[in-house]
Amino acid sequence: MKKLTIRIDQWVKSTEAQWKTFPIKKQRFLTALFFTGYSLMTLLMIIIQIASKKGSDSKDMPPIRHIITKPADITIKSKEGYHSVYNSSQNNQDERPK
């Protein structure tokens, strides 16, 4: 394992030395070129992933529902003129997860 890390360190040093021999203009051009290529590949992968979805029928995410019951250890004081989510008549149902 030690030999592998030594070889990797040598390769990194030689690559960095080669990079520093390039003129600044060429370094900037290559950096912009690599970044543009990376951005285009990422965009292409996102488009392919979106296109490969089966539409809105995919079951990737569970359905989002409102919480309609309050936990037993929470007490809510109702104020006059204030409509609490837990005090509404709509939330008096006891719904358990299926």
Q: Is residue 14 part of a domain?
A: yes
18-43: string of b/e by CB count within 10 Å (b at 16+)? eeeeeeeeeeeeeeeeeeeeeeeeee
Q: Is residue 24 part of a domain?
A: yes
Q: Is residue 45 part of a domain?
A: yes
Number of compact structural domains in the chain:
1
pTM beyond 0.75: the answer is no
- Find the domain containing 35 and state its range: 2-52
Phi-psi region of 81 (alpha: psi -120 to 50; beta: other; left: phi over 0): left
Written as tens digits, the pLDDT of the chain (98 aa) is 999 999 999 999 999 999 999 999 999 999 999 999 999 999 999 999 888 876 555 566 677 777 777 666 767 666 665 555 555 555 545 555 55
Q: Is residue 71 part of a domain?
A: no
